[in-house]
Amino acid sequence: MKVTLLGAGAWGTAMAVQAARHLHAEDVCLWSRNAEQLQAMAKSGENHLYLPGIPLPKNLLLESDFAAAVKRLGSDDLLVIATPMSGLAQTMALVLQVAQHPLNIIWLCKGLEPATALLPHQVVERENHLHGRGLKHAFGALSGPSFAREVGAGMPCALTVASTSEQLCKSVQAAFHHDNMRVYSSDDLVGVELGGAVKNVLAIAAGIGDGLKLGLNARAAVLTRGLAEMMRLVKAAGGKSETCMGLTGVGDLILTATGDLSRNRRVGLELAAGKSLDQILSSLGHVAEGVLCAAAVGDLAKRLNVDMPITAVMGEVLAAKLTPKEALKKLMGRDPKMEV
């Protein structure tokens, strides 16, 4: 099978490396809109900009022509959208305009569309309605606890692909389930996507707690009560709350809230240190999806009448309506209630 990945950031590059380790010469194609970046990658044999120190397999095809990257795929092949959430709608629209036959399409981004609070698959459905031209593509999301650097280095990792298409799930597993990566399948697209969105917001909260030196007890409370918020939202949105107990929920939450490679955790740490959000984001160099989707998660919770106090105060902190210490005081001042 052939695989094309659209987006040569850290995550897209890492997953291209993972696929190319297993598939044959030029079966895996990595596309970037930045031709200069691709030239530098071809020359150096690594992605210095986003994933330095990880060698690119020699059989990985680098492509700057978008149409060529998409049209090389047949109906049994796999297209992977590896852009941030902010680029999903535009990239999907372009894919649908270029596609000449039905494709297997998955996305790696996590979060909600800020302006609409739509989940990734809802964004894709909207774009397919506008640009799909009647072709019956198969869609899905690939998510789970994964830092790009560790995946690129070939360290053990487990992910979940979610789709209503069993064949799409099998295609994703054929592409990526090998060596040190396991890929499980699920039909709960809502649960998988919402877990990936909410955990980023909770990771900022955990980072703030650690930055304020509130202790390990406080971190455990944030993660546990945050997981309860996630489960309530998933159930209200039509997903399965038990999905939150798997890789894309509690697994990804633990990683993102405690791992030193987590950009969302770093945002929380630096907010606790008194830095402004603008200062933090300008120094990151990468997208922190929790910042972009916190307000949208809050909007969705209000729309579905779901109580999410930790998520709500994180939205206020990120909007500069509360300081981290004021957020803590607000949370700790809530009335007692039953845990379940």
User: What tokens does 28 get?
Assistant: 């895996």
Tens digit of each residue's pLDDT (9 = 90 or more) over 136-192 = 999 999 999 999 999 999 999 999 999 999 999 999 999 999 999 999 999 999 999
Average pLDDT over residues 35-54: 97
Domains of the chain, CATH where assigned: 3-187 (3.40.50.720), 196-332 (1.10.1040.10)
pLDDT score for 24: 84
Q: Which of 43, 199, 240, 337 is catalytic?
A: 199
- Which residues are within 8 A (CB) of 128 and not within 5 positions of it... i.e. 6 or more apart? 92, 96, 137, 139
**What residues have CB less than 8 Å from 116, skipping those under 6 apart?**
123, 296
- pLDDT score of 26: 83
Tell me, what's the pLDDT at 286? 75
pLDDT of 280 > 90? The answer is yes
Across 58-63, average pLDDT: 97
| 209-258 pLDDT tens trace | 999 999 999 999 999 999 999 999 999 999 999 999 999 999 999 999 99
Catalytic residue list contains 199: yes
- Report d(CA 13, CA 5) in Å as an integer: 8
pTM: 0.96
What is the pLDDT confidence band of residue 41, given thresholds at 50, 70 and 90?
very high
Of 163, 145, 122, the C-alpha closest to 203 is 145
Crossing angle for the helix pair 166-176 and 10-20, to the nearest 10 degrees: 80
Could you give the angle at which helices 324-332 and 189-211 cross, rounded to 10 degrees?
A: 110
